[in-house]
Chains A and B, each alone.
Chain A
Amino acid sequence: MNMRNDLSIIQDWLKPNSRALDLGCGDGTLLAMLRDKKNIEGYGLEIGADEITACIGKQVNVIEQNLDDGLSNFADNSFDTVIMTQALQAMRAPDLVLDEMLRVGKECIITFPNFGHWKARWHLAVNGRMPVSDLLPYEWYNTPNIHFCTFNDFEVLCREKNINTLNRQVVADGPLAAFKDIRPNLFGETALYHLTR
């Protein structure tokens, strides 16, 4: 996956001078970019010690907080946008996280890996084993990714919850990436959803 591409799509979706909360903000790359390029006031939540130190080094506001404990310390609509990149599949209750994101933020942006990608299907169908790839380099027993879904699964959840999709982008790499727009659930590696209630 082309991470820079991923982040620049997110950047385009955010309004300048707005307020953003990044759940699982990693080393703060996205928040630093949003601050420098769009003057966005941001806070990141993170639990990784090295990631937190990296954020502090970039002067990115980072708060040590476990997302599985919820977002009850944030008021309704207290952020313009709540962002979560590549972490939904590691949440204990992804559906509740999604509800919380849309409570705290007026809009939310969410990105996750597609378990319906042809490589994953191939891995399971031919090898009969759980997919292991560059993007998801874990064995089934030690993976932090405990709730995989496909693009279609996610869209069913959004429909059930009456969540509106403002934008959707699919990102893919490799030889068959060109087909991602025709059959996203088969050829897309990562999806970016821009959602609102």
Chain B
Amino acid sequence: MPDTVATHSVGIVSPQTFHFDEPLVLASGRSLSQYDLVVETYGVLNEKKSNAVLICHALSGDHHAAGYHHEDDKKPGWWDAYIGPGKPIDTDRFFVVSLNNLGGCNGSTGPGSTNPETGAAWGNDFPKLRVRDWVNSQVRLADRLGIYQWAAVIGGSLGGMQAMRWSLEYPDRLQSCVVIASAMKLTAQNIAFNETARQAILADPQFFDGDYLAHKTYPKDGLAVARMIGHITYLSDDAMGKKFGRELKSGSFEQGKDNPVEFQVESYLRYQGDAFSQTFDANTYILMTKALDYFDLAREYDDDASKAFANAQCRFMVISFTTDWRFSPERSREIVNALMDANQAVSYAEIESNYGHDAFLLPNTRYEQVFRQHMNTLDLNKASS
């Protein structure tokens, strides 16, 4: 843990595991008879239980959103830039709840967990999940924590989809909904990227139809390629150009020399793919990308987004980033237009950034200002009952 950031950090944190025995019926019709959710919390829940904020993670996120697990951790949680004392999600003011979603691979029940009925790892047989299943499991968690109404439910990308689903399914249980770099449904191109990534995993001979754990192996190479594909789409052309250009990592193009040449960008992507494949689960990757593909906010509302949002009772803050082409500003504007059409309270900011989809995780002065200002307006005197 670097000393310099310690004053604006939540510091050393440790996750807790909540066990749930009541069966959870899923959108697919199947159910989970019991499950665990791994959770981190930052800040203190006030007496009225009115200052709680739920963080919904994206594709590869988990419960570790802020702070450090050990003194010698080099990197903090994935959203440490925005959660902590004095940060936009100010832990001096809010009680922040961050969980690893069902189907995840960082402690919550998922494909790598043991199926109580067979005694073996779920693997490929783990139920397919949809965004609403996560929301339903998060509701159980809120009930367990004694929180009725969240001051805010916040999410970026796939997390934004969860936040929006909350606003429709449990309208009185959130005061505000913060939707960052998200969409009401994926475009064909976006689904295509996910499918290409999944095919990379499926093509790995170590995948064994998802039952690699039973074969005591792991589709490491396939998952690495899947991540490389994803990673390209999270960055902008401009950001990649600035960071790597055509710089060579090794070799040269000198005439008369026949040596292997490696571009910096190749080396970087391989490194990212390798690092990811060592910590992430292939079945979880498939499950999460499918949940992204399946999400369609207005499907149950006659494909009319305004009709869907008509049920909401919270205030919305929608944020997008100029160079994000995976979840482009246009997708966010669609959310905003539907909200205005439904007469809902909404504000929208389009943040200038060179970092593509990844911008939602990175420090950015204007993004911080807008986010902080919205959080400042939340009323924490409303009792959560």
A-side residues, CB < 8 A to B, are 19, 41, 43, 49, 52-53, 55-57, 59-65, 73-75, 78
**Residues of B close to A63: CB separation below 8 A:** 336, 340, 346-348
**Residues of A close to B377: CB separation below 8 A:** 56-57, 59
Interfacial residues of chain B within 337-385, with CB under 8 A of chain A in the complex? 337, 340-341, 343, 345-350, 366, 369-370, 373-374, 376-377
In the docked arrangement, what's the CA distance between A66 and B178, Å?
22
Given the interface contacts A43-B340, A63-B336, does A57 sit within 8 Å of B376 by beta carbon? yes
In the docked arrangement, what's the CA distance between A19 and B340, Å?
11
Do the beta carbons of A61 and B343 come within 8 Å of each other?
no
Please give 10 more A-B residue pairs, beta carbons under 8 A apart, in addition to A19-B343, A57-B377: A43-B340, A52-B349, A55-B347, A56-B349, A60-B347, A62-B347, A63-B340, A64-B350, A75-B341, A78-B341
Q: Answer yes or no: B151 CB below 8 A from chain A CBs.
A: no
**Residues of A close to B340: CB separation below 8 A:** 43, 61, 63, 74
**Residues of B close to A65: CB separation below 8 A:** 333, 348
Which residue of A has the minimal Cβ distance to B377? A59
**Residues of A close to B370: CB separation below 8 A:** 52-53, 56
B-side residues, CB < 8 A to A, are 315, 317, 333, 336-337, 340-341, 343, 345-350, 366, 369-370, 373-374, 376-377
Q: Name 5 A/B residue pairs within 8 A (Cβ), A-sorted.
A: A56-B349, A59-B377, A62-B348, A63-B336, A73-B337
In the docked arrangement, what's the CA distance between A60 and B373, Å?
12
In the docked arrangement, what's the CA distance between A49 and B341, Å?
24
Q: Report the minimum CB–CB distance from B337 to chain A (whole Å).
A: 5
**Residues of B close to A78: CB separation below 8 A:** 341
Tell me which of A49, A52, A61, A73 contacts B345 (CB under 8 A). A61
- The listed residue with most B CB atoms (<10 A of its CB), out of A41, A55, A59, A74, is A59
In the docked arrangement, what's the CA distance between A73 and B373, Å?
26
